[in-house]
Structure 1
Amino acid sequence: MDHANSTTADWEALTQILGHHTNWPEHWHTTLAQHGQAALLQQASHDLATGVRSSGDEHTPIQPTRQVSA
């Protein structure tokens, strides 16, 4: 694991895409800390697509702060 990448994050971009970090599911913080920003964005994308708010919680959907076009 590359710890240099795991501690570097573009907070302005993350906040713009995912909302303020205080509103994130806990596992997003863990993913960012352990694996970095790219892994967080991949996890968040999966969670948003499937409506999962936290590990094992399919009943509380999460919504992106804005729609991102591909």
Structure 2
Amino acid sequence: MAESEEHPDLRPRGPDSRLLVLAATILADTSAILPVGLVGAFALDIRAALGMGSHAIGMLVGTFFATGSRLRPPSA
């Protein structure tokens, strides 16, 4: 009995599933980075609403990106 018959979840998947995984990955990355990117882009416009100066907003956005780069898994 072949391994794929024992474990049907291990069967090779078609190109449709690869496209679905790609779309889900792009959506997750975009939805994770977009809010911080928008805060950085509109920092001068929203600094009064946030009650912070431009430097504080810049530090928060920079901290987000620095933390993300330090916590990412190592590439193969």
TM above 0.5: no
TM-score, L = length of structure 1: 0.29
Higher helix fraction: Structure 1 or Structure 2?
2
Q: Which has the higher contact order (CA 8 A, sep 6+)?
A: 1
TM-score, L = length of structure 2: 0.27
Q: Report the structure number with the largest CA radius of gyration.
A: 2
